[in-house]
Chains A and B, each alone.
Chain A
């Protein structure tokens, strides 16, 4: 029998121990065990005692057994072993702490083993480890460091990342003072000093975006945050985070700069720029567009559709264009469009509409760019008018040149011919005859020259001063001058022009014009009836229009329309017809920026319309 404690079934003192403790003898047979121990391992009390724990726990391994033997042999006073005990479902971890069990004489008679379920601790440790590596990764990726400051020791601790952000050497010792000195002189350092003061005085938290100058002299944007630590309501220190946000700030700055650039560009482009959503509501407008719509603040236009800004017909045209652009995704480029605001003012634009696409390639709106070309358009029209005037003048000039050449040539041909006859003529009576014809030809040439001279005078004196005269009075005066002529022909002139109408004319021309038209009407009266000439006047597109209606023979305009106002053109078998009156009248009217038109029906009469330019140029 080996010496050792007797195996007893129970020992009530040990039973009640609040911890899981087992007493084993030198053969590892269970001598005593606390109830806790039995419960932990789900063992039945009578069976356990006297059984070797090596038998009770088979899955423990040699290490564990060796450790127990070491302890038993007195090699170590205390041994801690972690033991994995495979229960049915989960791994359960126990920590076994053994101490030698001595008798009164100090002999080791066994082991006292305290067991503790450390599964939770093991799990926590693993969790902890995982969290730590996660935190480390977060710090690395997010460039977030942490720091701590303790008032009592006046010690500032920086984590590795915080040190890295500061770019300090390994032997650098941070203090609250030198930490603040890292902040860039000015706003950053002042802010930092202030938040620390506030935190110290009032216990405030902080989180600021500031700049530091690193140990290597680099300017870095950081997000620095901190909070006071209280112990028993007393401030004992600070803790906080320190993040390198230089890249973000730089890209934000870049983005802001780009935005500003774009915005400035868009705003000050001398073009109307806008962005519309799918409902054709404006969601961005530039200054030119605001100015066009007569508002100072873009807010007054934003969210509004064309239907709220323009008349319905104009808005509908624009909306149709918008829809087409957004449906087909094909831009409209430099299309000439006319826009009319609600106040009636029309503007001609060169409009481009470009679809704006979303991530899926569908239109989410459009960008519109319009250039106001109203003035260019006007200039174009003016130019067009000028070209017309010039080509008309040119035509007149050529026509006149032909008239001159024709008339002069025909006279000179007559002279040449008659003189040739005269040289060869023998008979005196015939000679006298030729002489009288030469005189006649000379008179004709004289008259022709006078007529031509008159026309030239009209066309060269285009800058004669115009005067404002009463049309009604002028007609009355001319009627008075022609009263004998009218009476002779039983003619009547009805002056129905309103006496408020004034026209801007060259006084000498208006007399001549009125006389020409009146005598023309009388001259070509219908022999079957007495001539009646009616004069009326209206305003029309910047012109005062005088209508002269007669009941004369009328003219077949299909036949003679293009020759009516030509020189030396006559259409009636009439000895009075000289073919010069209307030609001169037309020249005089045109010299005053006017024009003349005619309507006529053979057998009924004619109406001449004379357009007097209302502008006094």
Chain B
């Protein structure tokens, strides 16, 4: 099993968080899986952790539709962080709105980080494929 240092899940849907955690257990070996209910909490959490350890999560699972701060707003702030490492950001959404897909394409050109766009539900094979360091 692959060894991943740190994974972060950002989703307001507790069932989804549970599901991702459960799938991750099957495909990777990771001791540090953190989850946040919205973009704001996640950004604050990641920032704090980075200040303390100078490390950002290797992989982020990001939902788009969330209260307070949605996935895009989080992404906007996150890519502005002066990180040394490349992060893999897996967008996970049930949206089929073309606007979201366009947004995703726009962000892929704006950052060095690896971004992927995935529709719910997540399957084991998909999670295996997208859960690897950038």
Contact = CB atoms under 8 A, between A and B. Distances in A.
A411 to B, nearest CB: 8
A561 to B, nearest CB: 14
A418 B120 contact: no
Given A406-B65, A414-B121, A577-B67, A437 B96 contact: no
26 contacts: A402-B95, A402-B97, A405-B96, A406-B65, A406-B94, A406-B95, A409-B95, A409-B120, A410-B13, A412-B121, A413-B120, A414-B19, A414-B121, A417-B15, A417-B19, A420-B121, A420-B123, A421-B19, A568-B67, A569-B67, A570-B67, A571-B67, A571-B68, A573-B38, A573-B67, A573-B68
A23 to B, nearest CB: 144
Interface string B1-38: 00000000000010110110010000000000000001
A92 B18 CA distance: 150
A440 B94 CA distance: 18
A608 B123 CA distance: 45
Interface of B: 13, 15-16, 18-19, 22, 38, 40, 65, 67-68, 93-97, 119-123
Given A402-B96, A402-B97, A570 B68 contact: yes
A579 interface: yes
A572 interface: yes
Contact of B94 (A413, A568, A569, A579): A413
Contacts of A409: 94-96, 119-120
A573 B40 contact: yes
Given A402-B95, A409-B96, A418 B15 contact: yes
A373 interface: no
Contacts of B120: 409-410, 413-414, 417
With a 10 A CB-CB cut-off, give which of A402, A405, A412, A414 has the most chain B CB atoms.
Answer: A414
Nearest to A567: B65
Contacts of B16: 410, 413-414, 417
B97 to A, nearest CB: 4
Contacts of A416: 121
A501 interface: no
Q: Is the interface of B mostly helix, strand, loop or mixed?
A: loop
A577 B93 CA distance: 21
Contact-residue size bin, chain A (C-beta under 8 Å from the other chain):
20 to 34
A416 B19 CA distance: 10
Interface in A413-450: 413-414, 416-418, 420-421, 437, 440-441
B68 A421 contact: no
Nearest 3 pairs between A and B by C-beta? A413-B120, A413-B121, A570-B67
A568 B40 CA distance: 17
A414 B68 contact: no
Given A410-B13, A441-B15, A570-B67, A417 B121 contact: yes
B120 to A, nearest CB: 4
A406 B96 contact: yes
Interface of A: 402, 405-407, 409-410, 412-414, 416-418, 420-421, 437, 440-441, 568-573, 577, 579
A444 to B, nearest CB: 8
Contacts of B123: 420
A437 B97 contact: no
A100 to B, nearest CB: 144
With a 10 A CB-CB cut-off, give which of A407, A410, A579 has the most chain B CB atoms.
Answer: A410
Contacts of A410: 13, 16, 94, 120
Given A413-B121, A569-B67, A418 B13 contact: no
A50 B122 CA distance: 168
A420 B67 CA distance: 28
A154 to B, nearest CB: 114
Contacts of A402: 95-97
A32 B118 CA distance: 159
A406 B120 CA distance: 10
Given A410-B120, A416-B121, A579-B67, A440 B15 contact: yes
Contact of A414 (B15, B93, B96): B15
Contact of A437 (B18, B65, B68): B18
With a 10 A CB-CB cut-off, give which of A417, A418, A441, A570 has the most chain B CB atoms.
Answer: A417
A189 B123 CA distance: 116
A412 B16 CA distance: 11
Contacts of B18: 437
A560 to B, nearest CB: 10
Contacts of B38: 573
Nearest to A569: B67
A198 B38 CA distance: 119
A237 to B, nearest CB: 111
Contacts of A441: 15
A406 B97 contact: yes
Nearest to A421: B22
A441 B13 CA distance: 10
Contacts of A420: 121, 123
B126 to A, nearest CB: 11
Nearest to B67: A570
Nearest to A579: B67
A413 B95 CA distance: 11
Nearest to B37: A573
